[in-house]
Structure 1
Amino acid sequence: MQWLKYSPFMYYGFRLLLKKGGLQEVWVLLAMALGYRICTYFCLRKRINICQL
């Protein structure tokens, strides 16, 4: 369960505000934002395809 604290974006955002770790937090936040956006796109696309049947 230790890895669970690294999954939310708030952890990296808070560390970035504290200026701890440099660019690592920026890249993780960008990757998370892109990943969430892609996941949402495919979920919505699947939902739309189901509704049109």
Structure 2
Amino acid sequence: MQHIPKFMHWLKYLSFMHTASQAGLANGGLQEQGVLLVMAFGYRLCAYFCLRKKISIRHL
């Protein structure tokens, strides 16, 4: 059994997996799927650029 402290319940809304499951439970239309695809791609792209910038700063 999992116990999540009450002050950490809001963290689930930062997860795109939570958003995906909620969208799947809604009506599962193309608009929701498109938004999830954009979010997943956007998060990965943001992480890529952040890591690339961090690596380029270290080599200075």
Q: Same fold (TM over 0.5)?
A: yes
Aligned pair count reads 47
RMSD: 2.1
Q: What SS is found at the alignment partner of 1:36?
A: helix
Structure 1, gaps ≥5 residues long: 1-5
- The code of the aligned residue for 2:52 comes to R
The match for 1:44 is: 51
Which protein is bigger by CA-based radius of gyration? 2
Structure 2, gaps ≥5 residues long: 1-12
Identity of matched residues, %: 55
